[in-house]
Structure 1
Amino acid sequence: MAVLETITGMADHRDPGRPVRATTLVVTRSGGQVPAPAPEMVEYTPFPARDPFGTSVLRRRRTLILAVLVAMLSVAAYAFGPVRPPRNRPVAPPAAQQTGPQLAPDGTTDQPATEEGVAGAGSASASASPAPSKASPTAASAAPAVGNTAPAGPRNVAAGAAVEASSVEAPHLAPSNAIDGNGETRWGSGFADPQWIKLDLGNQYPLGRVAITWERAYATRFQVEVSGDGNAWKKVYETANGNGGTTVFFATGNTSRYVKITGLARISEYGYSIIDIAVFTA
């Protein structure tokens, strides 16, 4: 008996260009004749070609389904997860609005542009504000010392000065209310023109900034004069366009002891009303 291995020319159905290896069993008798091949043939089937993706179709489908589920879970976790705190962005503070000249506690300020000052009396300016502000009580200083030399540095020498006026509307509206540093008190004059209020600083000082805070009954036209002896007066400021609020001007270049404010025209039928007068040294 002999076993013959033959290669047939029949193509593999999985790969048309690949031959099929088959084994044929042949039985040889002693007579030397080679009988016909057995009717049964055992075919050797090669391994199928590897899937280019390395997985079967079913496994690829399962992998795709798992990938979709993972993506959906990730999106759900992000959407319904803990709320992230918002980023803190710096907010710019609102710009401050200048409503009129303000009095600093130490009396310093930039000189405003010249409006209606008198020649030789320094720069002058008038400004109005809807609600007149009172000078801070801390800006008030003690009464001037005796002598002709003023202390160094600008200070409000009107605080504590002697004051008198041409008239008073009522006892509680005395002239001293205009220099007491209290924004709730005021001086009120009689209902006629002209009216004046005069400050005696007690000593001669080199003058700088002067601020007058009006009540609603303000002067549309008024003037300011200074004097060293109370007899000879020099006009340092005059306007015919007063609009209330706080009027600020500079009397720089004048060394004086007396300051006099004279109202020449009123805004209404009432008298003149002043909340505060501040006179700072140069």
Structure 2
Amino acid sequence: MWGYSDQKVIDEIKESVEMGLPLVVGEFGHQWEEHDNGKIPYKTILEQCYKNEVGYLAWSWGPGNQPQTFLDMTTDGTFDTLRGWGLEVCVTDPYSIKNIAVRPASMLTEPTTEPPVTNIPKGSIAQNKPVFASSTEPGLGNTPEKAVDGNIATRWSSEYSDPQYIYVDLEDEYEIERVYIEWETAYARQYKIQVSDDAVVWTMYIPSTTETEILTIFTLTQKEDM
């Protein structure tokens, strides 16, 4: 959103709400150029979003917005360096995130029933075998061995970059009949399955695929170490 007056912002949000449109006012800054005509009524956006019960998404967190570095809300990507309009949006404005954000009621009470914990089918030759991965997302405890611990309530997660890999040493030669993958919501967009006798030379087993159903099962037959 840019170049609009306060009244234009008020009218546009009001009209959208009255039409019953799903609405989030997104990717707005405090200005789109460094002159008076480039100012954006961001405070009005914050206020009107709150009063009309719609979401907003200010932009950009920073650093790194080029060439409009003036849009960066922080100097190093941390809350400690929030500055200018970024500090207003996040903390000091009456309609800042700090002052208006609420947790959904579902997050404030304990669930009445325990979520089911489902184990992978019996007979898995990968369960609790040695696991090696390219990386582990820091601070979450989602270490590689949790990918094959037999409990789908735990998982492995990599760092947020591509490419990544994970492999299991089956410690013997097996005839593989099925590959069973239980995805978390942060699933891979694309992946392939390979096998190896030595973890150096790899043979394609399942070519590159985007199959990411929550439960993905490949049925196949091939004798390999994996």
After TM superposition, the score normalised by the length of structure 2 is 0.45
After TM superposition, the score normalised by the length of structure 1 is 0.36
The structure whose Rg is larger is 1
The structure, 1 or 2, with the larger RCO (C-alpha pairs under 8 Å, 6+ apart) is: 1
